Structure 1
Amino acid sequence: MSRLRPFLLTTVAMTAFAGNSLLCRAALRDTDIDAATFTSVRLVSGALMLWLLLSIRGNRAPMKQGSWGSALALFVYAAAFSYAYGGLSAAMGALLLFGAVQATMISIGIARGNRPHLWQWVGFVLAFSGLVGLLLPGLTAPPLFSSLLMICAGIAWGIYSLRAKGAGEPTAVTTGNFIRAVPMALVLSLVMMASATIDMAGMGYAVASGAIASGMGYAVWYMALPLLQATSAATVQLSVPVIAAVGGVLLLSEPLTLRLIVAGIAILGGIAIVIRAGQQKAA
Protein backbone atom coordinates (compact mmCIF):
# COMPACT_ATOMS: atom_id res chain seq x y z
CA MET A 1 0.00 0.00 0.00
CA SER A 2 2.91 2.37 0.74
CA ARG A 3 4.06 2.05 -2.88
CA LEU A 4 0.59 2.85 -4.16
CA ARG A 5 0.20 5.92 -1.94
CA PRO A 6 2.21 8.38 -4.09
CA PHE A 7 0.39 7.18 -7.21
CA LEU A 8 -3.06 7.47 -5.64
CA LEU A 9 -2.41 10.89 -4.10
CA THR A 10 -0.94 12.24 -7.33
CA THR A 11 -3.81 10.86 -9.41
CA VAL A 12 -6.39 12.47 -7.12
CA ALA A 13 -4.55 15.82 -7.16
CA MET A 14 -4.12 15.95 -10.96
CA THR A 15 -7.76 14.97 -11.48
CA ALA A 16 -8.81 17.74 -9.07
CA PHE A 17 -6.71 20.33 -10.92
CA ALA A 18 -8.20 19.27 -14.26
CA GLY A 19 -11.61 19.35 -12.58
CA ASN A 20 -11.27 23.10 -12.08
CA SER A 21 -11.33 23.57 -15.86
CA LEU A 22 -14.31 21.24 -16.29
CA LEU A 23 -16.32 22.81 -13.47
CA CYS A 24 -15.65 26.38 -14.55
CA ARG A 25 -16.43 25.66 -18.20
CA ALA A 26 -19.63 23.82 -17.30
CA ALA A 27 -20.75 26.68 -15.03
CA LEU A 28 -20.03 29.47 -17.51
CA ARG A 29 -21.48 27.54 -20.47
CA ASP A 30 -24.47 25.73 -19.01
CA THR A 31 -25.68 27.93 -16.14
CA ASP A 32 -26.46 31.62 -15.66
CA ILE A 33 -23.77 32.38 -13.06
CA ASP A 34 -21.47 35.24 -14.05
CA ALA A 35 -17.68 34.99 -13.98
CA ALA A 36 -17.20 37.45 -11.09
CA THR A 37 -19.62 35.57 -8.84
CA PHE A 38 -18.02 32.26 -9.78
CA THR A 39 -14.61 33.67 -8.85
CA SER A 40 -15.83 34.96 -5.47
CA VAL A 41 -17.64 31.76 -4.54
CA ARG A 42 -14.65 29.66 -5.63
CA LEU A 43 -12.17 31.64 -3.53
CA VAL A 44 -14.45 31.85 -0.49
CA SER A 45 -15.22 28.12 -0.51
CA GLY A 46 -11.55 27.30 -1.15
CA ALA A 47 -10.46 29.48 1.77
CA LEU A 48 -13.05 27.87 4.07
CA MET A 49 -12.03 24.33 3.10
CA LEU A 50 -8.32 25.04 3.56
CA TRP A 51 -8.98 26.77 6.90
CA LEU A 52 -11.00 23.74 8.02
CA LEU A 53 -8.22 21.33 7.01
CA LEU A 54 -5.64 23.43 8.87
CA SER A 55 -7.89 23.63 11.95
CA ILE A 56 -8.19 19.85 12.02
CA ARG A 57 -4.40 19.72 12.07
CA GLY A 58 -4.31 22.20 14.97
CA ASN A 59 -3.22 25.29 13.04
CA ARG A 60 -5.72 28.08 13.70
CA ALA A 61 -3.63 31.04 12.56
CA PRO A 62 -3.37 30.78 8.74
CA MET A 63 -2.92 34.54 8.29
CA LYS A 64 0.56 34.24 9.80
CA GLN A 65 1.69 32.73 6.49
CA GLY A 66 1.19 33.84 2.91
CA SER A 67 1.42 37.40 1.61
CA TRP A 68 -0.67 40.05 -0.08
CA GLY A 69 1.53 39.93 -3.18
CA SER A 70 0.90 36.22 -3.62
CA ALA A 71 -2.79 36.73 -2.87
CA LEU A 72 -2.97 39.32 -5.66
CA ALA A 73 -1.39 36.87 -8.10
CA LEU A 74 -3.88 34.20 -6.95
CA PHE A 75 -6.81 36.58 -7.45
CA VAL A 76 -5.67 37.64 -10.94
CA TYR A 77 -5.32 33.98 -11.89
CA ALA A 78 -8.77 33.04 -10.56
CA ALA A 79 -10.57 36.02 -12.12
CA ALA A 80 -8.90 35.74 -15.54
CA PHE A 81 -9.48 31.96 -15.46
CA SER A 82 -13.21 32.42 -14.88
CA TYR A 83 -13.70 35.08 -17.53
CA ALA A 84 -11.63 33.11 -20.07
CA TYR A 85 -13.83 30.04 -19.74
CA GLY A 86 -16.77 32.02 -21.03
CA GLY A 87 -15.33 31.39 -24.51
CA LEU A 88 -12.92 28.44 -24.31
CA SER A 89 -13.41 24.70 -24.19
CA ALA A 90 -12.12 22.92 -21.09
CA ALA A 91 -9.24 21.32 -23.02
CA MET A 92 -8.25 24.51 -24.85
CA GLY A 93 -8.27 26.53 -21.64
CA ALA A 94 -6.26 23.96 -19.68
CA LEU A 95 -3.64 23.74 -22.44
CA LEU A 96 -3.27 27.51 -22.73
CA LEU A 97 -3.10 27.87 -18.95
CA PHE A 98 -0.49 25.15 -18.51
CA GLY A 99 1.62 26.39 -21.41
CA ALA A 100 1.56 29.97 -20.07
CA VAL A 101 2.44 28.82 -16.53
CA GLN A 102 5.48 26.86 -17.70
CA ALA A 103 6.60 29.56 -20.15
CA THR A 104 6.41 32.14 -17.35
CA MET A 105 8.43 30.06 -14.90
CA ILE A 106 11.05 29.16 -17.52
CA SER A 107 11.35 32.78 -18.70
CA ILE A 108 11.74 34.11 -15.16
CA GLY A 109 14.39 31.45 -14.51
CA ILE A 110 16.31 32.61 -17.59
CA ALA A 111 15.98 36.25 -16.50
CA ARG A 112 17.43 35.29 -13.12
CA GLY A 113 20.52 33.82 -14.77
CA ASN A 114 19.54 30.18 -15.18
CA ARG A 115 21.01 29.56 -18.63
CA PRO A 116 19.36 26.63 -20.46
CA HIS A 117 21.48 24.36 -22.62
CA LEU A 118 20.64 23.35 -26.20
CA TRP A 119 17.93 20.75 -25.54
CA GLN A 120 16.13 23.02 -23.10
CA TRP A 121 16.05 25.72 -25.78
CA VAL A 122 14.71 23.16 -28.26
CA GLY A 123 11.93 22.19 -25.86
CA PHE A 124 11.10 25.80 -25.06
CA VAL A 125 10.88 26.75 -28.76
CA LEU A 126 8.73 23.68 -29.49
CA ALA A 127 6.31 24.48 -26.67
CA PHE A 128 6.14 28.17 -27.65
CA SER A 129 5.50 27.20 -31.28
CA GLY A 130 2.63 25.03 -30.11
CA LEU A 131 1.10 27.96 -28.25
CA VAL A 132 1.45 30.22 -31.29
CA GLY A 133 -0.02 27.54 -33.55
CA LEU A 134 -2.96 27.15 -31.22
CA LEU A 135 -3.79 30.86 -31.53
CA LEU A 136 -3.30 31.29 -35.30
CA PRO A 137 -6.46 32.43 -37.12
CA GLY A 138 -8.66 29.69 -38.57
CA LEU A 139 -12.00 27.95 -38.24
CA THR A 140 -10.92 26.04 -35.12
CA ALA A 141 -8.99 28.90 -33.51
CA PRO A 142 -10.13 29.80 -29.98
CA PRO A 143 -11.54 33.31 -29.34
CA LEU A 144 -8.56 35.63 -29.09
CA PHE A 145 -9.75 37.67 -26.08
CA SER A 146 -10.61 34.58 -24.05
CA SER A 147 -7.25 33.06 -25.01
CA LEU A 148 -5.37 36.17 -23.89
CA LEU A 149 -7.26 36.12 -20.59
CA MET A 150 -6.25 32.50 -20.02
CA ILE A 151 -2.64 33.32 -20.86
CA CYS A 152 -2.84 36.14 -18.28
CA ALA A 153 -4.19 33.59 -15.79
CA GLY A 154 -1.23 31.33 -16.56
CA ILE A 155 1.28 34.14 -16.12
CA ALA A 156 -0.29 35.02 -12.76
CA TRP A 157 -0.22 31.38 -11.64
CA GLY A 158 3.42 31.04 -12.74
CA ILE A 159 4.32 34.08 -10.63
CA TYR A 160 2.28 32.71 -7.72
CA SER A 161 4.07 29.34 -7.95
CA LEU A 162 7.51 30.96 -7.93
CA ARG A 163 6.60 33.17 -4.98
CA ALA A 164 5.35 30.13 -3.06
CA LYS A 165 8.68 28.29 -3.23
CA GLY A 166 10.29 28.33 0.19
CA ALA A 167 7.58 30.63 1.61
CA GLY A 168 6.70 28.24 4.43
CA GLU A 169 4.50 25.21 5.06
CA PRO A 170 2.63 24.88 1.73
CA THR A 171 -0.90 24.25 2.98
CA ALA A 172 -0.71 27.06 5.54
CA VAL A 173 0.77 29.46 2.96
CA THR A 174 -1.95 28.56 0.45
CA THR A 175 -4.65 29.06 3.08
CA GLY A 176 -3.31 32.48 4.03
CA ASN A 177 -3.20 33.51 0.37
CA PHE A 178 -6.74 32.27 -0.31
CA ILE A 179 -8.08 34.21 2.69
CA ARG A 180 -6.31 37.38 1.54
CA ALA A 181 -7.65 36.94 -2.01
CA VAL A 182 -11.29 36.81 -0.81
CA PRO A 183 -11.76 40.59 -0.29
CA MET A 184 -10.25 41.22 -3.75
CA ALA A 185 -12.81 38.88 -5.30
CA LEU A 186 -15.63 40.52 -3.36
CA VAL A 187 -14.56 43.94 -4.66
CA LEU A 188 -14.67 42.52 -8.20
CA SER A 189 -18.19 41.19 -7.58
CA LEU A 190 -19.24 44.58 -6.19
CA VAL A 191 -17.87 46.40 -9.26
CA MET A 192 -19.61 43.92 -11.59
CA MET A 193 -22.85 43.81 -9.57
CA ALA A 194 -24.91 45.33 -12.41
CA SER A 195 -24.24 42.23 -14.55
CA ALA A 196 -24.30 39.69 -11.71
CA THR A 197 -26.55 36.64 -12.05
CA ILE A 198 -27.09 34.05 -9.35
CA ASP A 199 -27.72 30.48 -10.45
CA MET A 200 -27.94 27.64 -7.94
CA ALA A 201 -26.40 25.07 -10.28
CA GLY A 202 -23.60 27.52 -11.10
CA MET A 203 -23.07 28.19 -7.40
CA GLY A 204 -22.76 24.44 -6.87
CA TYR A 205 -20.09 24.20 -9.56
CA ALA A 206 -18.23 27.15 -7.99
CA VAL A 207 -18.32 25.61 -4.51
CA ALA A 208 -17.08 22.30 -5.90
CA SER A 209 -14.30 24.10 -7.75
CA GLY A 210 -13.22 26.02 -4.65
CA ALA A 211 -13.70 23.49 -1.85
CA ILE A 212 -12.92 20.22 -3.63
CA ALA A 213 -10.92 20.83 -6.83
CA SER A 214 -8.91 23.72 -5.32
CA GLY A 215 -8.88 23.40 -1.52
CA MET A 216 -8.76 19.64 -1.15
CA GLY A 217 -6.82 19.29 -4.42
CA TYR A 218 -3.96 21.45 -3.15
CA ALA A 219 -3.96 19.69 0.23
CA VAL A 220 -3.66 16.27 -1.44
CA TRP A 221 -0.97 17.55 -3.81
CA TYR A 222 1.12 18.83 -0.92
CA MET A 223 0.81 15.40 0.68
CA ALA A 224 2.06 13.79 -2.53
CA LEU A 225 4.96 16.18 -3.21
CA PRO A 226 7.33 14.87 -0.50
CA LEU A 227 6.89 11.37 -1.94
CA LEU A 228 7.91 12.44 -5.46
CA GLN A 229 11.22 13.48 -6.96
CA ALA A 230 11.31 17.07 -8.21
CA THR A 231 11.42 16.01 -11.86
CA SER A 232 8.60 13.50 -11.38
CA ALA A 233 6.49 16.19 -9.73
CA ALA A 234 7.03 18.52 -12.67
CA THR A 235 6.47 15.82 -15.29
CA VAL A 236 3.26 14.46 -13.77
CA GLN A 237 1.63 17.87 -14.11
CA LEU A 238 1.73 17.36 -17.88
CA SER A 239 -1.26 15.08 -17.36
CA VAL A 240 -3.59 17.90 -16.29
CA PRO A 241 -4.43 19.24 -19.80
CA VAL A 242 -4.81 15.64 -21.02
CA ILE A 243 -7.27 14.80 -18.21
CA ALA A 244 -9.15 18.05 -18.92
CA ALA A 245 -9.35 17.17 -22.64
CA VAL A 246 -10.67 13.68 -21.96
CA GLY A 247 -13.15 15.05 -19.41
CA GLY A 248 -14.27 17.74 -21.83
CA VAL A 249 -15.00 15.15 -24.53
CA LEU A 250 -16.71 12.63 -22.23
CA LEU A 251 -18.55 14.93 -19.81
CA LEU A 252 -19.13 18.15 -21.76
CA SER A 253 -19.37 16.73 -25.32
CA GLU A 254 -16.62 19.05 -26.53
CA PRO A 255 -14.93 18.40 -29.89
CA LEU A 256 -11.30 17.28 -29.99
CA THR A 257 -9.92 19.15 -33.00
CA LEU A 258 -6.78 18.35 -34.98
CA ARG A 259 -5.39 21.80 -34.09
CA LEU A 260 -5.80 21.07 -30.39
CA ILE A 261 -4.17 17.65 -30.67
CA VAL A 262 -1.16 18.88 -32.67
CA ALA A 263 -0.67 21.97 -30.49
CA GLY A 264 -1.06 19.86 -27.36
CA ILE A 265 1.63 17.43 -28.49
CA ALA A 266 3.97 20.33 -29.27
CA ILE A 267 3.34 22.19 -25.99
CA LEU A 268 3.42 19.20 -23.66
CA GLY A 269 6.23 17.51 -25.57
CA GLY A 270 8.32 20.68 -25.51
CA ILE A 271 7.82 21.12 -21.77
CA ALA A 272 8.70 17.46 -21.20
CA ILE A 273 11.97 18.01 -23.09
CA VAL A 274 12.75 21.07 -20.95
CA ILE A 275 12.09 19.13 -17.74
CA ARG A 276 14.11 16.09 -18.84
CA ALA A 277 17.00 18.22 -20.08
CA GLY A 278 16.98 20.17 -16.82
CA GLN A 279 17.26 16.92 -14.88
CA GLN A 280 20.26 15.85 -16.95
CA LYS A 281 21.88 19.28 -16.53
CA ALA A 282 21.46 19.11 -12.75
CA ALA A 283 22.94 15.60 -12.70
Structure 2
Amino acid sequence: MTTRTLMLTTLAMLAFAGNSLLCRLALRDTDIDAASFTSLRLLAGAVTLWLLMHLRKANRGAAGSWPAATALFVYAAAFSFAYINLDAGAGALILFGAVQLSMLAWGIYRGERLGLKGCSGLLLAFAGLLVLLLPGASRPPTGAALLMLLAGAAWGIYSLLGRGVNDPLAATTGNFLRAAPLALLLSVLFIGQASWDTPGLIYALLSGALTSGVGYAIWYSALRGLQSFQAACVQLSVPIIAALAGSLLLDEALSGRLLLSAAAVLGGIALVLSAKYQRA
Protein backbone atom coordinates (compact mmCIF):
# COMPACT_ATOMS: atom_id res chain seq x y z
CA MET A 1 0.00 0.00 0.00
CA THR A 2 1.49 3.37 -1.00
CA THR A 3 1.63 6.41 1.27
CA ARG A 4 -0.98 8.13 -0.91
CA THR A 5 -3.38 5.20 -0.65
CA LEU A 6 -2.87 4.99 3.11
CA MET A 7 -3.59 8.70 3.51
CA LEU A 8 -6.71 8.56 1.32
CA THR A 9 -7.98 5.46 3.12
CA THR A 10 -7.50 7.10 6.52
CA LEU A 11 -9.38 10.21 5.40
CA ALA A 12 -12.22 8.09 4.01
CA MET A 13 -12.61 6.10 7.24
CA LEU A 14 -12.65 9.34 9.24
CA ALA A 15 -15.35 10.65 6.90
CA PHE A 16 -17.48 7.52 7.33
CA ALA A 17 -17.19 7.74 11.12
CA GLY A 18 -17.91 11.46 10.85
CA ASN A 19 -21.31 10.70 9.32
CA SER A 20 -22.31 8.88 12.52
CA LEU A 21 -20.98 11.66 14.73
CA LEU A 22 -22.61 14.51 12.79
CA CYS A 23 -25.97 12.76 12.58
CA ARG A 24 -26.00 11.86 16.27
CA LEU A 25 -24.85 15.35 17.26
CA ALA A 26 -27.52 17.02 15.12
CA LEU A 27 -30.40 14.85 16.31
CA ARG A 28 -29.34 14.92 19.97
CA ASP A 29 -28.27 18.53 20.46
CA THR A 30 -30.13 20.62 17.85
CA ASP A 31 -33.74 21.14 16.80
CA ILE A 32 -33.50 19.53 13.36
CA ASP A 33 -35.76 16.53 12.74
CA ALA A 34 -34.64 13.26 11.17
CA ALA A 35 -36.54 13.72 7.88
CA SER A 36 -35.11 17.21 7.31
CA PHE A 37 -31.62 15.97 8.16
CA THR A 38 -32.00 13.16 5.60
CA SER A 39 -33.21 15.55 2.88
CA LEU A 40 -30.48 18.10 3.46
CA ARG A 41 -27.80 15.41 3.62
CA LEU A 42 -28.81 13.84 0.31
CA LEU A 43 -29.31 17.22 -1.39
CA ALA A 44 -25.92 18.50 -0.23
CA GLY A 45 -24.29 15.22 -1.28
CA ALA A 46 -25.93 15.38 -4.71
CA VAL A 47 -24.78 18.97 -5.31
CA THR A 48 -21.24 18.22 -4.11
CA LEU A 49 -20.89 15.10 -6.25
CA TRP A 50 -22.34 16.91 -9.27
CA LEU A 51 -19.73 19.65 -8.82
CA LEU A 52 -16.95 17.07 -8.50
CA MET A 53 -18.18 15.42 -11.68
CA HIS A 54 -18.01 18.67 -13.60
CA LEU A 55 -14.60 19.65 -12.20
CA ARG A 56 -12.84 16.55 -13.43
CA LYS A 57 -11.39 16.45 -16.93
CA ALA A 58 -13.31 13.45 -18.28
CA ASN A 59 -16.93 14.46 -17.76
CA ARG A 60 -19.15 11.57 -18.83
CA GLY A 61 -22.31 12.68 -17.05
CA ALA A 62 -24.15 11.13 -14.12
CA ALA A 63 -25.10 7.45 -14.24
CA GLY A 64 -26.62 5.24 -11.51
CA SER A 65 -30.02 3.55 -11.35
CA TRP A 66 -33.34 3.80 -9.53
CA PRO A 67 -32.91 0.51 -7.60
CA ALA A 68 -29.55 1.73 -6.27
CA ALA A 69 -30.97 5.19 -5.51
CA THR A 70 -33.87 3.62 -3.59
CA ALA A 71 -31.44 1.55 -1.53
CA LEU A 72 -29.40 4.71 -0.85
CA PHE A 73 -32.52 6.57 0.27
CA VAL A 74 -33.65 3.74 2.59
CA TYR A 75 -30.16 3.66 4.12
CA ALA A 76 -30.04 7.43 4.68
CA ALA A 77 -33.57 7.66 6.10
CA ALA A 78 -33.26 4.67 8.44
CA PHE A 79 -29.80 5.90 9.50
CA SER A 80 -31.18 9.31 10.52
CA PHE A 81 -34.22 8.02 12.40
CA ALA A 82 -32.11 5.40 14.19
CA TYR A 83 -29.68 8.01 15.48
CA ILE A 84 -32.43 9.81 17.38
CA ASN A 85 -31.92 7.24 20.15
CA LEU A 86 -28.59 5.50 19.37
CA ASP A 87 -25.11 6.46 20.51
CA ALA A 88 -22.61 7.03 17.69
CA GLY A 89 -20.47 3.98 18.50
CA ALA A 90 -23.34 1.51 18.91
CA GLY A 91 -25.01 2.81 15.76
CA ALA A 92 -21.85 2.49 13.67
CA LEU A 93 -21.24 -1.04 14.97
CA ILE A 94 -24.76 -2.19 14.11
CA LEU A 95 -24.59 -0.43 10.74
CA PHE A 96 -21.28 -1.83 9.53
CA GLY A 97 -21.99 -5.24 11.05
CA ALA A 98 -25.27 -5.39 9.11
CA VAL A 99 -23.57 -4.18 5.92
CA GLN A 100 -20.95 -6.91 5.97
CA LEU A 101 -23.33 -9.65 7.13
CA SER A 102 -25.92 -8.81 4.46
CA MET A 103 -23.27 -8.97 1.74
CA LEU A 104 -21.95 -12.26 3.13
CA ALA A 105 -25.52 -13.63 3.24
CA TRP A 106 -25.94 -12.74 -0.43
CA GLY A 107 -22.75 -14.59 -1.26
CA ILE A 108 -23.96 -17.68 0.60
CA TYR A 109 -27.32 -17.47 -1.21
CA ARG A 110 -25.44 -17.40 -4.51
CA GLY A 111 -23.63 -20.61 -3.58
CA GLU A 112 -20.46 -19.32 -1.97
CA ARG A 113 -18.97 -21.70 0.61
CA LEU A 114 -17.27 -20.30 3.69
CA GLY A 115 -15.53 -23.36 5.17
CA LEU A 116 -14.97 -24.01 8.88
CA LYS A 117 -13.04 -20.79 9.55
CA GLY A 118 -15.55 -18.65 7.68
CA CYS A 119 -18.56 -20.28 9.35
CA SER A 120 -16.94 -19.82 12.78
CA GLY A 121 -16.38 -16.14 12.03
CA LEU A 122 -19.96 -15.68 10.83
CA LEU A 123 -21.36 -17.28 13.99
CA LEU A 124 -19.08 -15.12 16.14
CA ALA A 125 -20.27 -11.94 14.37
CA PHE A 126 -23.94 -12.89 14.82
CA ALA A 127 -23.27 -13.68 18.49
CA GLY A 128 -21.68 -10.25 18.89
CA LEU A 129 -24.76 -8.49 17.55
CA LEU A 130 -26.94 -10.67 19.77
CA VAL A 131 -24.89 -9.68 22.82
CA LEU A 132 -25.47 -6.01 22.00
CA LEU A 133 -29.22 -6.44 21.49
CA LEU A 134 -30.04 -8.74 24.43
CA PRO A 135 -32.05 -7.17 27.30
CA GLY A 136 -29.98 -5.23 29.78
CA ALA A 137 -29.28 -1.77 31.16
CA SER A 138 -26.93 -0.79 28.34
CA ARG A 139 -28.92 -2.32 25.46
CA PRO A 140 -29.69 0.10 22.62
CA PRO A 141 -33.40 0.86 22.13
CA THR A 142 -34.96 -1.96 20.10
CA GLY A 143 -36.69 0.26 17.54
CA ALA A 144 -33.57 2.30 16.87
CA ALA A 145 -31.42 -0.84 16.58
CA LEU A 146 -33.84 -2.39 14.08
CA LEU A 147 -33.80 0.79 12.01
CA MET A 148 -29.99 0.74 11.95
CA LEU A 149 -30.05 -2.94 10.91
CA LEU A 150 -32.34 -1.88 8.05
CA ALA A 151 -29.91 0.92 7.15
CA GLY A 152 -27.03 -1.56 7.09
CA ALA A 153 -28.93 -4.03 4.92
CA ALA A 154 -29.88 -1.23 2.51
CA TRP A 155 -26.26 -0.07 2.29
CA GLY A 156 -25.21 -3.66 1.65
CA ILE A 157 -27.70 -3.88 -1.22
CA TYR A 158 -26.48 -0.53 -2.54
CA SER A 159 -22.90 -1.80 -2.46
CA LEU A 160 -23.84 -5.01 -4.27
CA LEU A 161 -25.69 -3.05 -6.96
CA GLY A 162 -22.63 -0.88 -7.43
CA ARG A 163 -20.19 -3.71 -8.04
CA GLY A 164 -18.59 -3.60 -11.45
CA VAL A 165 -19.78 -0.12 -12.46
CA ASN A 166 -17.42 1.50 -14.95
CA ASP A 167 -17.45 4.94 -13.32
CA PRO A 168 -18.18 4.80 -9.55
CA LEU A 169 -18.25 8.59 -9.13
CA ALA A 170 -20.74 9.04 -11.98
CA ALA A 171 -22.90 6.22 -10.63
CA THR A 172 -22.91 7.65 -7.11
CA THR A 173 -23.72 11.13 -8.42
CA GLY A 174 -26.69 9.77 -10.36
CA ASN A 175 -27.88 7.79 -7.36
CA PHE A 176 -27.72 10.82 -5.07
CA LEU A 177 -29.58 12.94 -7.64
CA ARG A 178 -32.33 10.30 -7.82
CA ALA A 179 -32.48 9.79 -4.04
CA ALA A 180 -32.84 13.50 -3.24
CA PRO A 181 -36.50 13.77 -4.48
CA LEU A 182 -37.37 10.66 -2.44
CA ALA A 183 -35.95 12.38 0.63
CA LEU A 184 -37.98 15.53 -0.12
CA LEU A 185 -41.10 13.36 -0.30
CA LEU A 186 -40.19 11.95 3.13
CA SER A 187 -39.95 15.50 4.48
CA VAL A 188 -43.42 16.26 3.08
CA LEU A 189 -44.83 13.18 4.83
CA PHE A 190 -43.30 14.35 8.12
CA ILE A 191 -44.04 18.04 7.59
CA GLY A 192 -45.97 18.17 10.86
CA GLN A 193 -42.80 17.26 12.76
CA ALA A 194 -40.47 19.49 10.75
CA SER A 195 -38.11 21.67 12.77
CA TRP A 196 -34.58 22.98 12.41
CA ASP A 197 -32.11 25.55 13.63
CA THR A 198 -28.81 26.90 12.33
CA PRO A 199 -26.52 24.31 14.00
CA GLY A 200 -28.75 21.47 12.78
CA LEU A 201 -28.67 22.80 9.21
CA ILE A 202 -24.87 23.14 9.34
CA TYR A 203 -24.40 19.57 10.61
CA ALA A 204 -26.71 18.20 7.91
CA LEU A 205 -24.93 20.12 5.15
CA LEU A 206 -21.51 19.02 6.45
CA SER A 207 -22.70 15.41 6.57
CA GLY A 208 -23.94 15.57 2.98
CA ALA A 209 -21.22 17.66 1.37
CA LEU A 210 -18.10 16.72 3.34
CA THR A 211 -18.39 13.31 5.03
CA SER A 212 -20.69 11.87 2.33
CA GLY A 213 -19.93 13.62 -0.98
CA VAL A 214 -16.21 14.35 -0.57
CA GLY A 215 -15.77 11.28 1.63
CA TYR A 216 -17.13 8.94 -1.04
CA ALA A 217 -14.99 10.60 -3.71
CA ILE A 218 -11.87 10.09 -1.55
CA TRP A 219 -12.85 6.46 -0.95
CA TYR A 220 -13.16 5.78 -4.68
CA SER A 221 -9.66 7.16 -5.17
CA ALA A 222 -8.34 4.99 -2.34
CA LEU A 223 -9.96 1.87 -3.79
CA ARG A 224 -7.64 2.00 -6.79
CA GLY A 225 -4.73 1.11 -4.51
CA LEU A 226 -6.52 -1.46 -2.32
CA GLN A 227 -7.23 -5.12 -2.86
CA SER A 228 -10.85 -6.12 -2.21
CA PHE A 229 -9.84 -7.91 1.00
CA GLN A 230 -8.04 -4.79 2.26
CA ALA A 231 -10.98 -2.57 1.34
CA ALA A 232 -13.42 -4.80 3.24
CA CYS A 233 -11.21 -5.14 6.33
CA VAL A 234 -10.28 -1.48 6.63
CA GLN A 235 -13.96 -0.52 6.94
CA LEU A 236 -14.09 -2.49 10.18
CA SER A 237 -12.16 0.40 11.74
CA VAL A 238 -15.13 2.76 11.34
CA PRO A 239 -17.17 1.55 14.37
CA ILE A 240 -14.04 1.75 16.54
CA ILE A 241 -13.29 5.30 15.37
CA ALA A 242 -16.94 6.30 15.89
CA ALA A 243 -17.08 4.77 19.38
CA LEU A 244 -13.85 6.46 20.52
CA ALA A 245 -14.84 9.80 18.98
CA GLY A 246 -18.32 9.53 20.49
CA SER A 247 -16.77 8.97 23.90
CA LEU A 248 -14.30 11.86 23.54
CA LEU A 249 -16.44 14.41 21.69
CA LEU A 250 -20.04 13.54 22.62
CA ASP A 251 -19.43 12.22 26.15
CA GLU A 252 -20.94 8.83 25.30
CA ALA A 253 -20.18 5.85 27.53
CA LEU A 254 -17.99 2.98 26.32
CA SER A 255 -19.87 0.15 28.04
CA GLY A 256 -18.44 -3.32 28.55
CA ARG A 257 -21.30 -4.71 26.48
CA LEU A 258 -20.41 -2.47 23.53
CA LEU A 259 -16.72 -3.36 23.71
CA LEU A 260 -17.45 -7.11 23.93
CA SER A 261 -19.92 -6.89 21.06
CA ALA A 262 -17.48 -4.89 18.93
CA ALA A 263 -14.71 -7.42 19.51
CA ALA A 264 -17.01 -10.31 18.51
CA VAL A 265 -18.63 -8.64 15.48
CA LEU A 266 -15.48 -7.14 14.01
CA GLY A 267 -13.34 -10.15 14.86
CA GLY A 268 -15.88 -12.54 13.36
CA ILE A 269 -16.18 -10.60 10.13
CA ALA A 270 -12.38 -10.35 9.92
CA LEU A 271 -12.21 -14.16 10.21
CA VAL A 272 -14.69 -14.57 7.35
CA LEU A 273 -12.84 -12.10 5.14
CA SER A 274 -9.52 -13.75 5.96
CA ALA A 275 -10.89 -17.17 5.00
CA LYS A 276 -12.26 -15.78 1.70
CA TYR A 277 -8.92 -14.11 0.95
CA GLN A 278 -6.92 -17.28 1.61
CA ARG A 279 -9.16 -19.28 -0.75
CA ALA A 280 -8.80 -16.60 -3.45
1:263-283: CA deviations, max 9, x gaps? 00000000000111100111x
Q: Name 1:211's counterpart in structure 2.
A: 209
Give matches, 1:140-179, under 5 Å: 140-179=138-177
State the partner residue of 1:5.
4
* Distance in structure 2 (CA, Å) of the matches to 1:3 and 1:185: 39
Task: Tell me the C-alpha RMSD between the 2 structures.
Answer: 1.0
Partner SS, residue 49 of structure 1: helix
In 2: Cα distance, 1:24 partner to 1:235 partner:
24
Which residue does 1:48 correspond to in 2?
Answer: 47
Letter in 2 for 1:99: G
Which residue is equivalent to 2:22?
Answer: 23
Displacement after TM superposition at 1:42 (Å): 0.1
Counterparts of 2:59 and 2:227 in 1: how far apart (Å)? 30
Match of 1:269 in 2: 267
Structure-1 separation of matches of 2:191 and 2:61: 30
Q: Distance in 1 between matches of 2:95 and 2:170?
A: 25
Q: How does 1:35-184 map to 2 (within 5 A)?
A: 35-58=34-57, 62-63=61-62, 65-184=63-182
| Alpha-carbon distance between aligned partners in 2 of 1:227 and 1:108, rounded to the nearest angstrom | 26
Structure 1 residue 58: Cα displacement: 4.0
CA contact (8 A) 2:75 2:150 kept: yes
Alpha-carbon distance in 2 for matches of 1:164, 1:62: 17
Name the CA distance, whole Å, in 2 between partners of 1:186 and 1:192: 10
Runs of at least 5 residues in structure 1 that lack an aligned partner in the other structure: none
Structure 1 residue 61, shift from structure 2 partner: 5.6
Secondary structure of 1:87's aligned partner:
coil
Shift of 1:34: 0.1
Deviation at 1:168, TM superposition (A): 2.5
SS of equivalent to 1:227: coil
2:227 corresponding residue in structure 1 = 229
Distance of 1:181 and 1:148 partners within structure 2: 22
Shift of 1:4: 1.2
1:109, CA displacement in angstroms?
Answer: 0.6
Once the two structures are overlaid, the 10-residue window that deviates more, 107-116 or 88-97, is 107-116
2-structure distance, mates of 1:38, 1:62 = 27
Where in structure 1 do 4 or more consecutive aligned residues deviate above 2 Å? 58-63
TM-score (norm 2): 0.98
- Whichever residue aligns with residue 178 of structure 2, its letter is R
Provide closer, same or farther for how the CA distance between residues 205 and 270 of structure 1 changes in structure 2, counting only shifts above 3 A: same
> 2: distance between equivalents of 1:246 and 1:117?
34
SS of 1:249 mapped into structure 2? helix
Q: Which residue of 2 aligns with 1:260?
A: 258
2:183 corresponds to which residue?
Answer: 185
8 Å contact 1:62–1:173 — kept in the other structure?
A: no
Q: CA deviation at 1:231?
A: 1.1
Map Cα deviations across residues 5-28 of structure 1 (whole Å, 9 max, x no partner).
111000000000000000000000
Q: Secondary structure at the match of 1:139?
A: coil
Show CA shifts across 1:139-173 (max 9, x none): 00000000000000000000000000012211110
Distance 1:3 1:181 in 2: 35
Q: CA deviation at 1:3?
A: 3.0
Aligned residues: 280
Distance (Å, rounded) in 2 between the aligned partners of 1:59 and 1:35: 36
Report the 3-state secondary structure (helix = DSSP H, G, I; strand = E; otherwise coil) of the residue aligned with 1:250.
helix
For the 8 Å contact 1:42–1:210, the answer to whether it is kept is yes
Q: How far apart, CA to CA, are the structure 1 residues paired with 2:101 and 2:241?
A: 20
Distance of 2:59 and 2:205 partners within structure 1: 22
* Separation (CA, whole Å) in 2 of partners of 1:59 and 1:149: 39
